[in-house]
Amino acid sequence: MSAQHDVLIIGGGLVGASLAIALERTGVDVGLVEATPPGALPAVFDERNLSFADATVNALTALGVLRKLLAPAGEIRRIHVSRAGDFGRVLLDARDYGRDMFGRVVVARDFGAALAERLDELPRLSRYRPARFLGCEAAGEVRAVRLADGGGERIVHARLLVAADGTHSAVRGALGIDADVHDYAQTLLVARVRATRAPDGTAYERFTAHGPTALLPRGDRHYGVVHGVARAEAETALALDEAGFLDRIQRAFGWRVGRLLAAGARSAYPVQQVVARGTTAARAVLVGNAAQTLHPVGAQGFNLGLRDALVLAELIAQQPEDPGAEALLQAYVARRHEDRERTLAFSDGLARITANDAPLLRPLRSLGLLAADRLPSLQSLLAGGAMGYRGDVPALCRNACA
């Protein structure tokens, strides 16, 4: 006999795993389809540095995930933004908003291990691993989902199918939902670096015509560096020896943390924006990168995807008898609209305007930086977005003890 679940989540990465944990308290029957076998982490849990907004920290604390972290997280107490060749800068300080910090920096690998440990504690969760999504079709009050695993193919029925399978979502394709793609022609190089000045809680973002260079305060007295390069230069930059790579970062970033002394292994990630033209279909919903993949500028991607998952879990908790009902899916779209649209516009607009090297834009950008640094109302908007308080905020984001 085929299995049946109230909710079947395709994808055990950052958002999919977080959704499975959030749904545990609702009492609904949940299945999680994971590409990796027991004991292995998905590839997304690598050496990248994740910036968790304050709202995200609250939610992950309430879900019992952050207490599973074995490595210390870095605190973001200040945010420093500037652009090469432009006057002005923006400096945000969490103390000005009555808070200790804007968020935390966590290594993706460490976060993956914490999620895995928390998932292992869920007694009612059914896990299909390793398994692969093959297709799906509507079948009355359920979705019939075809999976492939070590035993061959199987059919699993679900009242609600959740696509949490990333940017190139197979579920999104199977549902016939198109996506708009913009290639920024940039590649991000990611590494860990050590400097003469240890992190003091300041997260730096320095823009150039080829993309951002960010230094994030990790919890191990190192910085997580994200360095944007033109796509055509990516292979050459990735092949630099340690001294050459550090020199490149130093020239792009400057001396705000002193001399860069050492760098760890590097990874490269091409940057695209992929936005689904719809986020729901009959008894199906897209969350996280399957719904929208953002330029990483401003570190909005996972924070936005987690809010997708938490709003969905809230709505299911209110209507657990049928999580795939059309009214519930319509409510989900309505609740996510403002946050999604504003975050997409912010990340895309910031990526485009800061990378545009047209001479006429330089004085306008400089005026914008000066205004953002001196106008309290504009600073408050930026700070609220940085902390994840944009639009209809899920309850768990507002209270770490919820």
CATH architecture under which domain 3-73+103-181+272-355 falls? 3-Layer(bba) Sandwich (3.50)
In the chain, the N- to C-terminal Cα span, in Å, equals: 38
Cβ neighbour number for residue 113 with a 10 Å cutoff: 17
Sign of CA dihedral 351, 222, 79, 358: negative
Q: How far apart are CA 132 and CA 134, in angstroms?
A: 6
Helix (H) or strand (E) holding 207: strand 202-208
Question: Is the C-alpha dihedral spanning 368, 93, 344, 216 positive or negative?
Answer: positive
Tens digit of pLDDT for each residue in 326-343? 999 999 999 999 999 988
Contact call for residues 167 and 290 (beta carbons, < 8 A): yes
Helix (H) / strand (E) containing 114? helix 108-119
Residue 287 is predicted with a pLDDT of 98
- Check residue 399 and give its pLDDT: 74
Q: Are 260 and 251 in contact (CB under 8 A)?
A: no
Burial of 362 (0-12, 13-18, 19+ CB in 10 A): middle
Which three-class secondary structure state does DSSP give residue 101?
Answer: coil
Angstrom distances, CA of residue 200 to CA of 77, 164, 193, 221, 256: 8, 35, 15, 9, 11
Residue in 104, 103, 120 with CA at minimum distance from that of residue 68: 120
- What burial letters (b/e) apply to 48-81, b meaning 16+ CB within 10 Å? bbbbbbbbbbbbbbbbebbebbeeebbbbbbbbb
CA 319 to chain centre: 27
Show me where the domains of the chain are located: 3-73+103-181+272-355
pLDDT at 279: 98
Residue 162's nearest CA partner among 354, 358, 18 is: 18
Low-confidence ranges of the chain (pLDDT < 70): 1-2, 84-88, 298, 352-385, 400-402
pLDDT in the model for residue 212: 85
With 0-12 / 13-18 / 19 or more C-beta atoms within 10 angstroms meaning exposed / middle / buried, residue 16 is buried
Q: Write down the pLDDT at residue 378.
A: 54
187-173-286 Cα angle (round to 5): 80
- The predicted pLDDT at position 363 comes to 44
